[in-house]
Structure 1
Amino acid sequence: MNTSVAMQFKRSETVAALAIGCVALLVLGLQPALLGALVDQHRISMEGVGIVAMGEIFSLGVGTILAEKYLPLHRLRTVAVVASLLLIAIDLLTLTAHGDLACVAWRVLAGLLEAGLFWIVTMIIVRSPQPDRLAGVFLTLQTCVQAAAALLLAKVSVASLGWGQPFVLLAVVCVLPLLIASRLPARLGEHTEAIHPSVVSWTGFFALLVPFLHMSAVGALWAYLEPVVNEAGVGISIDALASLVLVMQVIGGGAASLTVRRGKVSQALMVSALAFAAVGIVMYRLPAHSTVAFAVSCAVFGFLWLFQMPFHIRLAFDIDPRGRIAMLVPPAQLVGTGFGPLVTSFTVHGNEVGHVPLLVAGFATCVVVAVALVKLGVLTRHKAGGALSGGGDVG
């Protein structure tokens, strides 16, 4: 895959950027513990849990777009240091917040600062010679980091850090970017028209819908997995199922890293999206107490979660080698992660969540439609004599 924005980075620069990206997204893996701590201490209401969670995720996604537009590419190290210092302060200040509104305000600010750190790794990924493969490596790495952090929280005594231990851990981890900021590239050039983010066409718009809809499906099922498990009467704990999903995420991310540069990107996306839709339908139609079948469905869900994501980057570069659309893929993924649970919450009444897997299947089916529209758009432009210079194979 040839891209017109590729740069050569030292290994230490790439590793530093990936590590900072893992810090930026650590909150996604710790949100259940973070929000649970706030609820247990009556800092937020049960109704406010979703608002706090979605506020931080949405601000992370939108903040990444704003960061690309306004943050200087020749000040990566400064951005890392300033964002980390402010994020440490806000993570600790969250411990003093009382009420849904106050917690939302602090976590929205946290999301914007996390976006500044995530922007750094995004800029490195989209400018690397193999952005799709590096994206797969990053997704797998950040999943492992989230798992390690969650395991650490489970092992650390609450008495040693108090009820706010998840936020203390988050603040401690945010020291890492301060220590490795000097390893980042000194500059990445300037913002130019060649790489300025733009949807540029309906084809580009549908290409962004693919990651948005995929992560909407993921977010909807992940957010409601515990109540869905309870309603299904599955004879296995939610912790065991979550661990299974996590293991399969790592396997899926690894598989994507090895295969993302082979074969047809549209076929890979369509097949994986259809498989995701099948997972939702199977979960919906399973009779009660179908433990093995439900566990297998969760395993497939975990695999598809990370397997599809590197292909989002490749699809974006295949239709726009200048990287304008690729820069918007990570924000689209993040906003989709928040959009899915938000839409699902409007359909849930009381404890009735049996329909959630069917809604997930609907999101996944829409991914298939979006990929088909991207392919149709590319074929139409080729027939009209407007083939994209340097474009890859979307077929």
Structure 2
Amino acid sequence: MQTLSSPTATFSTGITPVVLLVGSIALLILGLQPLLLGQLFSARIVTLEGIGLVAMGEIVALGLGVVLTDLFLPRRRLWRVVILASLAVVALDLITCNVRGDIPITLVRAACGLVEGVLVWLTTYVIVCSHNPERLAAVFMVVQTMSQALVSTLFAALVLPLSGWQGGFVALAALSLLPCVLIRALPRQFPAMREQPIPGIRWSIAGLLPLVLAFLQMAAIGAIWAYLEPLGNSFNLSQAEIGTVVSEVLLMQVLGGIVSVFTVHRFNTVLVVALGALTLGGIGFALMQLTQIDFVLFTGLFALFGFAWLFTMPFYVSLALQVDPSGRVALLIPAMQLTGSASGPLAVSLAVDSDGVGIVPAFSAAFSVSVLTLTVLGYRWISRRTIGGEGV
């Protein structure tokens, strides 16, 4: 028998902005990866193949850290755990400055991801315990993306040009100290949730399809996002121009997330998923066909990329709820999206060589075409809402 946690605890309203900020700090690396990984590659600290390994290692470890924290972390004196986790992130960021090579960098960043998962779990816990978790989760998505956009802009304009990749990780370490300052606003002990039994899941095509689609679409996004700086370099863009593109993508994510908050219940879910895949696939195909590109065209493509990224994400949760109104499948969507965003760069890293990154858009386009194809072919199972008769 499986269990589904249901909130019984309530927290003061003053805690909410604190935990949203703590979670946003823990997830800053998601917005900084293109800049920092590109700098590591330019400095020959990691190889082109290693970019995918490092990106995958930290993201997968972050998700694993959330799961392990939920399973094993005691609720008593959680504020001490947050302090230790923050200090561990700081230490690992500083250690990153002193290691070289694909495997050592991957191991250090994976360890950092595990500890960052503790801080992300804290934010998730308070969101789930809130009176309106869906709305607060959407707010957190926008807040964390805005934080990433602001910090990446500062990194691209000031930190990296003045102090290089090592200065970038030192600055990230300094930011990771903030939860230690904010910790006084948190309760000394977090109450536990009660457990409610739910029936076991019997999988079918309808139940699996939203998970597969979420995985593939984030693989398409992650493939390009992790290799953005080498891709920009291949089109002869300057570091300042690439930094501008990264900030632009994050700002367009914010816009896409805000729009999705107001439209996720209004638009046809299957149609949005299909159009999102078509858009992202089209961006990949467009990049494949170009041998030279100007800055305006490049930024235009990636502005659309950023908007489509965050706009479509909530619709995968909506799709999962459409085939399973109980929410059992929807609970797995974030995990599949996180895994997909790490698997995309990994797939690219296995095929890319030192001659260039021309294959990156091809991988992204292939993942998106897979989403579009499966959405069209799977529409019959989705529309039947088989959860009532056949099981998930």
TM-score exceeds 0.5: yes
- Is this contact kept in 2: 1:195–1:322, CA < 8 A? no
Aligned partner (choices 261, 281, 284) of residue 285 of structure 2: 281
Change in CA separation of 1:123 and 1:368 when aligned onto 2, cut-off 3 Å: farther
Query: Match of 1:358?
Result: 362
Query: Match of 1:393?
Result: none
SS at match of 2:27: helix
How far did residue 156 of structure 1 move?
Answer: 4.4
How far did residue 36 of structure 1 move?
Answer: 5.2
Change in CA separation of 1:126 and 1:57 when aligned onto 2, cut-off 3 Å: same
How far did residue 369 of structure 1 move?
Answer: 4.8
SS at match of 1:308: helix
Change in CA separation of 1:220 and 1:331 when aligned onto 2, cut-off 3 Å: same
How far did residue 28 of structure 1 move?
Answer: 1.7
Query: Match of 2:193?
Result: 190
How far did residue 251 of structure 1 move?
Answer: 1.2
- Is this contact kept in 1: 2:218–2:338, CA < 8 A? yes
Query: Match of 2:94?
Result: 92
The farther-off stretch of 135-144 and 347-356 is 347-356
- Is this contact kept in 2: 1:218–1:340, CA < 8 A? yes
How far did residue 305 of structure 1 move?
Answer: 1.0
How far did residue 15 of structure 1 move?
Answer: 1.9
How far did residue 339 of structure 1 move?
Answer: 0.8
Query: Match of 1:249?
Result: 253
Query: Match of 2:304?
Result: 300
How far did residue 341 of structure 1 move?
Answer: 1.4
Among all aligned residue pairs of Structure 1 and Structure 2, give the percentage whose two residues are the same amino acid. 38
Aligned partner (choices 13, 23, 33) of residue 21 of structure 1: 23
Deviation digits for residues 138-183 of structure 1 (CA, Å, limit 9, x no counterpart): 2222122122222333454679878632222222222222233344
2: CA distance, partners of 1:37 / 1:367: 32
The farther-off stretch of 21-30 and 232-241 is 232-241
2: CA distance, partners of 1:184 / 1:104: 32
How far did residue 286 of structure 1 move?
Answer: 4.9
2: CA distance, partners of 1:173 / 1:355: 35
Query: Match of 1:342?
Result: 346
- Is this contact kept in 1: 2:51–2:345, CA < 8 A? no
1: CA distance, partners of 2:19 / 2:271: 31
User: What TM-score, normalized by structure 2, do the two folds share?
Assistant: 0.81
How far did residue 220 of structure 1 move?
Answer: 1.0
Query: Match of 2:384?
Result: 379
SS at match of 2:386: helix
- Is this contact kept in 2: 1:30–1:166, CA < 8 A? no
Q: CA RMSD in A?
A: 3.7
- Is this contact kept in 2: 1:317–1:326, CA < 8 A? yes
How far did residue 343 of structure 1 move?
Answer: 1.0
Query: Match of 1:213?
Result: 216
The farther-off stretch of 215-224 and 132-141 is 132-141
- Is this contact kept in 2: 1:252–1:302, CA < 8 A? yes
Query: Match of 2:125?
Result: 123
1: CA distance, partners of 2:46 / 2:390: 57
Deviation digits for residues 351-391 of structure 1 (CA, Å, limit 9, x no counterpart): 354443333222123334555648715725256387x9xxx
1: CA distance, partners of 2:227 / 2:180: 36
Aligned partner (choices 311, 318, 329) of residue 315 of structure 2: 311
2: CA distance, partners of 1:102 / 1:349: 20
Change in CA separation of 1:288 and 1:98 when aligned onto 2, cut-off 3 Å: closer
Deviation digits for residues 43-92 of structure 1 (CA, Å, limit 9, x no counterpart): 55555343233211221123333333333456654442332122222222
2: CA distance, partners of 1:325 / 1:79: 31
2: CA distance, partners of 1:335 / 1:155: 31
The farther-off stretch of 108-117 and 316-325 is 316-325
Change in CA separation of 1:81 and 1:211 when aligned onto 2, cut-off 3 Å: farther
The equivalences for 1:106-255 within 5 A come to 106-156=108-158, 164-184=166-186, 186-187=189-190, 189-190=192-193, 192=195, 194=197, 201-202=203-204, 203-229=206-232, 231=234, 237-255=241-259
- Is this contact kept in 1: 2:316–2:333, CA < 8 A? yes
2: CA distance, partners of 1:261 / 1:4: 25
How far did residue 113 of structure 1 move?
Answer: 0.5
SS at match of 1:192: strand
How far did residue 303 of structure 1 move?
Answer: 0.5
2: CA distance, partners of 1:37 / 1:286: 24
Change in CA separation of 1:157 and 1:362 when aligned onto 2, cut-off 3 Å: closer
Gaps of 5+ in 1: 389-395
How far did residue 330 of structure 1 move?
Answer: 2.9
Number of aligned positions between the proteins: 384
Gaps of 5+ in 2: none
User: What TM-score, normalized by structure 1, do the two folds share?
Assistant: 0.80
